[in-house]
Structure 1
Amino acid sequence: MSSSNDEIDRLCRTGEHASTADIAVCSQRNFEQIYAKLNSTIKTSEAELSKGDVDLKADNNPVALPYFENGQRAWVEYRDNQCYAETYSLGEASMRYVTFWDCMARITKERISDLQSTED
């Protein structure tokens, strides 16, 4: 893969002269960008839950944040297992890594959308 960021951006954007390995790297890069957005969205959700938990705790009610954190860990396990299952079902396919990273990106985008819809 090319070394300059501009060349990498062009390769990932156009796919021009890209090998399967290049496409896999671009898919992984795309997932990493989406995952960074997920982490930002989670921090926002956690901050909101923490604020709400203050009142809940003051009224001797169960708090939400620990359950959100448990749910997020379970979601990560679900996403990873789902994507491994999709990928490994292909056998020795040359696009295996592209399939994996595209799956990770797709399910992560869905999670971001779910979290954002609960903020409204």
Structure 2
Amino acid sequence: MRLYAGLVNIGIGVSLLVGAIGNVSAAPIEFCDGEYTTIDLNNCTSKNLDYEDSKLNSTYKTLRGMLDRTEKNNLKQAQLAWIDFRDKSCNFTSRELVGGSMHAIEYTSCLTNYTYQRRIELQKEIYNIQR
């Protein structure tokens, strides 16, 4: 239930941003429909993360191509700091589940949500540059 509540909270925050940047879904893509075993959930949450990571990398490259050298360096430093924050935040969020079968699912879902949020932030930057 805690995982679902977190997804709902993130979805609400992201949906407020969506109107500002155009046609973007209000939540990360979800490959877990109908998946009930721990193995199935691990597989689908991994697919979710892979998908969002790929989309983030593409968005990051697009944005980098629009920036001058100083801005590219600033973006790189921000991205490295963001990755560190994301990983530490998800470690903290999933700490109570360490050693349990749900830990990997919670941790990966957390990474996916942060990755999705970051992609939306970078898409907003692209939108602002293009205006």
Q: State the TM-score, normalizing by the size of structure 2.
A: 0.68
* SS of residue matched to 1:25: helix
The two structures, once aligned, show a CA RMSD in angstroms of 1.6
**Residue in 2 that maps onto 1:84:** 91
Deviation sequence 1:43-66 (CA, Å, 0-9, x none): 00100013xx4xxxxxxxxx2111
Structure 1 counterpart of 2:59, from 24, 32, 41: 41
Q: State the TM-score, normalizing by the size of structure 1.
A: 0.74
* SS of residue matched to 2:101: coil
Give the share of equivalent positions with the same residue, in percent: 28
**Residue in 2 that maps onto 1:99:** 106
Q: Distance in 2 between matches of 1:111 and 1:14?
A: 27
Aligned length: 97
**Residue in 1 that maps onto 2:34:** 14
* SS of residue matched to 2:33: helix
**Residue in 2 that maps onto 1:27:** 45
Please identify the structure whose Cα radius of gyration is greater: 1
Unaligned segments of structure 2, at least 5 residues: 1-30
* SS of residue matched to 1:48: coil
